[in-house]
Structure formats: C-alpha cells, structure tokens
Amino acid sequence: MQGVFVLFTILAGGSVMIGFYRREIAMYAVVLLGGSLLLWQTHQIRKWAIIHEDIIGIIQFVEETGRKKGSYPKSLDEYRFKHDWVKLHIYGIGIDPEDGFRLTYFINDPGISYWYSAKAGFGYYPD
C-alpha cells in the first residue's frame, strides 16, 4: 500500500523536473497521476465500505442467532454474504464466555487485523 504512494510521489517529482523543460507535458503528467490516484482511492473506499457492510451484517446475524438459540453460532456457515469475496477477508469467529463473540477480519492488508468484540466493540492491531 505504501509502495503505491511512494511510486506516485516519485512520479510526481519527475513531472516537476519535466516541468522545467516543458510545462505542458508536466501539466498533463500531474493531472494524469493525480487523477489515477483519486480513482485508486475511490476504489479502495468502495471496497472498504463493502467489507464493512458485510461485517455489520455478520454482527447482526450472530447477535440475532444468539438471542434466538441461546448461544452464538460456532461458524458463519449459515450466514449469507452479500459479496462472496468478503469471505476471504474473514479470519474467523470465536466464542469467549466472558467477552461473548469476537469476529476477526482484515480490510486491505492481512498483516493488520480488525475485530469486533461483543463486549469491547471494534478495534484493530497493530495499534
């Protein structure tokens, strides 16, 4: 993720250098790079919103199942994902007698995990 921003920063710096030679070319390069970055960010925000939408759906499903059956489900096999690819972002669901259920997932980078705990709410690591 950081590499994309570093690449765009280097390319934007190169565009400035080109600007000393030909301003018109530099202007087009900056607009193209800036526009590409905005499109990429828009795609990421949409992806994050879709994942979060399913996460909220899972939380509602687990809470409702817990109320109806008296215990939380041990898996998400019965949950119907709105977007199937979100399954790949779910690490799992755990049941803790003290904390209730805990849903662990990632949004963009598998090395940064997010979770929802029935007792503590939302969180992420590393924090």
pLDDT digits (tens, 9 = 90+) for 75-99: 899 999 999 999 999 998 998 777 7
**Quick one: pLDDT band at residue 57, thresholds 50, 70, 90?**
very high
Rounded to the nearest angstrom, the gap between the alpha carbon of residue 20 and the centroid of all alpha carbons in its chain is 39
Does position 127 have pLDDT exceeding 60, yes or no? no
pTM for the full model?
A: 0.76
CA–CA distances in Å: residue 47 to residues 32, 53, 95: 23, 10, 28
Phi and psi angles of residue 109, each rounded to the nearest 5 degrees, phi first: -110, 120
- Name the residue among 89, 78, 96 with its Cα closest to residue 54: 89
What is the residue range of 79's domain? 2-125
Who has greater pLDDT, 71 or 60?
60
Which pLDDT does position 80 carry in this prediction? 94
* Closest CA relative to residue 106, chosen from 63, 46, 48: 48
Q: Say if residue 16's pLDDT is above 80.
A: no
Q: How many structural domains is the chain composed of?
A: 1
Q: What are 84's two structure tokens?
A: 């199937």
- Stretch 105-125: mean pLDDT: 89
Comparison of pLDDT for 26 and 46, the residue scoring more: 46
For residue 7, what pLDDT is reported?
Answer: 78
Where does the pLDDT of residue 126 fall: very low under 50, low under 70, confident under 90, or very high at 90 and above? Answer: confident
